[in-house]
Copies of this chain bind each other. A is one copy, B any other.
Amino acid sequence: MSDVSQSVSQSVSQPEQYVVGVDFGTLSGRAVVVRVSDGAELGTAVHDYAHAVIEDRLPRELAGSDRPLPPDWALQVPDDYREVLRTAVPAAVAAAGISPDAVIGIATDFTACTMVPTLADGTPLCELEQYAGRPHAYVKLWKHHAAQGQADRINVLADERGEGWLPRYGGLISSEWEFAKGLQLFEEDRELYDAMERWVEAADWIVWQLCGRYVRNACTAGYKGILQAGRYPSPEFLEELAPGFAGFVPDKLDQEIGRLGEVAGALTAQAAAWTGLPEGIAVAVGNVDAHVTAPAAQAVGAGQMVAIMGTSTCHVMNADVLREVPGMCGVVDGGIVEGSWGYEAGQSGVGDIFGWFTKTSVPAAYAEAAAAAGESLHEHLTRLCAGQAVGEHGLVALDWHSGNRSVLVDHELSGLVVGLTLATRPEDVYRALLEATAFGTRVIVETFRDAGVPVEELVIAGGLMRNPLLMQIYADVTRLPLSIIDSEQGPALGSAIHAAVAAGAYPDVPTAAKAMGKVRTAVYVPDEARAQTYDQLYAEYLELHDHFGRHTRTMRRLKAIRRAALAAAAEREA
């Protein structure tokens, strides 16, 4: 069944085939129906998670109480994901105006590392009445950052023992990942840990829900699960880390690995009933939002760094070489596409920071002016600061409001703004925050380059690609040409590409990407004059980056003081 796209173009009378891609984001799931022959996106639907992100307290209607969560927690409710299958998928098919019978496969992508504690049959522990009141029974979303202490200990011990896997993760494991989050559960709710039979990436859990088989995808297993060359961290390492934790891998984690683009199983009768799709069609191995986007943007070659810019930014890039890049998220064989070394890096907060700023830090007069002009606050602030000369606002910010994922890998870091004066206006700080995230990207690009993995092009996907000022700032700050994915729903399109491959419509992902992916190249190119001034500001950013990220522990101490204050206040309350 090779060369389908060619046969389709030659024979227009052949009935069209379709695939469904479903992208599970931080706040919603989006389904898209895509034509196999050319990637045309024919219908789409979005469903917002009813419980969104749980950060302050468990929902009383589920948990029976609403006791507050400690700082830095971020939970989700797994049935919110199923609801996307029940609502968004049929809605997308209806919007596409196609017959469900013409759909030959479905694939999904997910935020990661997002972890579901389950029984052996996949039932999430929070769906059991006896555990519904326990915070650790819920899904730990990628941005649950309360396991930094565990991550720190993993890093120190791995470094001391010279664990061979550590350099594959830039020398530092993130608190966001499977082992840190699992160790937090082990240490903070041992009874629940013992009751848990599987510790499952949501990316695989949703596939399990669709096809009834638990297959662990190579991508998250490698990037988030420390699986390298078929081996996890050893029982000896885990026992030394925490007595009793030695069995974590065989007891909770280990599972058959599925390669990206492979079929995981066939759609079950129940999942067919949820989605309205034909029972038995191909369900692809799970995948991650960022990673599926690379083929959606036809960016699977060496030197093409794909930046998926939304709430946070994920950077993925293929290379033929294996290099150890300090502070990268990881390098995984076949982690993005089979046959290449897939590199990943990331910025924990990007759109999140801009959103936080517009929500918390912009006065009424601006909201009124934006409304009068028919603009969102983002558009309004962007317009106000777009005409500024580089450096005019006199500010530099550190974009660590949600911690730093690369290259410092430290979620105890926090945001900073310096240069504030009584003349500083909201649009000044807004622009400084846009720039801070661009500087953060430049740190990553330069770190890759210095480690022997050069970046030649930035390929942008994600919602933030719609801000031309932001895009131009990235081009000027990084001195790289920016290409833009030509789809509003890159991850869902990328999933659809994987569905097409899993269904056998294409021989492999790169071939499918060529037929179905979409990109506009070099839409933004650097301006040398602006780039030179940005060099000066970047030097200031770097100095702050190294001072607060490497040389002092100010930010860590502030978080410790905050935790102690909150704990003492909670104790007084109790």
Taking Cβ atoms with an 8 Å cutoff, the residues of A that contact B are 55, 71, 349, 352-353, 356, 359-364, 367-368, 388-396, 401-402, 414-426, 533, 536-537, 540, 543-544, 547-548, 552, 554-555, 557-559, 561-562, 564-566, 568-569
Contact = CB atoms under 8 A, between A and B. Distances in A.
A561 B537 contact: yes
A557 B547 CA distance: 16
Contacts of A71: 423
17 contacts: A55-B423, A349-B422, A352-B422, A356-B424, A364-B364, A389-B565, A389-B569, A391-B562, A392-B562, A414-B419, A415-B424, A416-B417, A416-B419, A418-B548, A418-B558, A536-B561, A543-B552
A346 to B, nearest CB: 16
A388 B569 CA distance: 9
Given A71-B423, A419-B555, 12 more contacts: A353-B422, A361-B361, A361-B426, A363-B363, A388-B565, A389-B569, A394-B562, A401-B422, A416-B416, A416-B420, A419-B562, A544-B554
Nearest to A570: B389
Nearest to A352: B422
A307 to B, nearest CB: 20
A360 B416 contact: no
B418 A555 contact: yes
A55 B421 CA distance: 13
Q: How many copies does the complex hold?
A: 2
Contact of A363 (B364, B419, B559, B562): B364
B420 A415 contact: yes
Q: Please provide the 8 A-B residue pairs with the shortest distance between their CB atoms, ordered closest to farther.
A: A415-B420, A394-B562, A364-B364, A391-B565, A391-B561, A389-B565, A392-B565, A419-B558
Contacts of A419: 414-416, 555, 558-559, 562
Nearest to A529: B568
Contacts of A425: 360
Contact of A360 (B356, B392, B415, B424): B424
B394 A558 contact: yes
A57 to B, nearest CB: 13
Nearest to A55: B423
A193 B552 CA distance: 49
A330 to B, nearest CB: 24
Nearest to A426: B360
Contacts of A420: 401, 414-417
Contacts of A552: 543, 547
By CB atoms of chain B within 10 A, which of A389, A402, A564 has the most? A389
Contacts of A422: 349, 352-353, 356, 401-402
Contact of A367 (B364, B548, B555): B364
Contacts of A390: 565
A569 B533 CA distance: 13
Contacts of A363: 359-364, 367
Given A352-B422, A363-B363, A426-B361, A394 B417 contact: no
Contacts of A361: 361-363, 426
A565 B385 CA distance: 14
A540 B558 contact: yes
A564 B529 CA distance: 13
A424 B558 CA distance: 13
A400 to B, nearest CB: 8
Contact of A414 (B421, B426, B536): B421
A564 B71 CA distance: 42
Contacts of A536: 557, 561
Contacts of A55: 423
Contacts of A562: 391-394, 419
A564 B391 contact: yes
B414 A416 contact: no
Nearest to A371: B364
A401 B422 CA distance: 6
A421 B402 contact: yes
A540 B543 CA distance: 18
A55 to B, nearest CB: 8
Nearest to A311: B422
Nearest to A420: B415
Contacts of A554: 396, 418, 540, 543-544
A460 B554 CA distance: 32
